[in-house]
Amino acid sequence: MTTISFRQSQIYVLDQDEALDFYVGKLGFEVHTDVDLGFMRWLTVCLPGQRDRELLLELPGPPAMSPETAEQVRDALTKGAGGGWFSLTTDDAYAVAEQLRARGVEFTDEPSEKPYGVDFGVRDPFGNKIRIGTLKGQ
């Protein structure tokens, strides 16, 4: 059987430099690709040692959408309704939570025991939601 792997995903941000500060400076990602394509900045980050999986930090706008739609997306983001989210796993959710708290990351849900393990929620400066946890059996 042919295998398929996850390669890239995307979230919308309102400021790519501020996004870099958050994802690299606070969450510990590293820059994978930062290229000015003329019509857009292709900016991706990845977790250290995981260069085969990228997260695109994309500004709402052309070429993906019209200026009118981009304005609607920006408006939704500023209201915390952008809809972007992803989850990360770690071997110690409590320790990661303390590291992120010390870096000033905003929590939406404190670390707690769940039937599937321990997890917590944070948000980026644009309202995208991030779950971080230690899964049972991990």
Cβ atoms of residues 59 and 28 within 8 Å: no
Model confidence pLDDT, tens digit, residues 50-92: 999 999 999 999 888 999 999 999 999 888 787 789 999 999 9
Overall pTM surpassing 0.75 (yes/no): yes
DSSP state of 7: -
Average pLDDT over residues 16-35: 98
DSSP state of 131: E
- Spell out the domains of the chain, with CATH numbers in brackets: 8-135 (3.10.180.10)
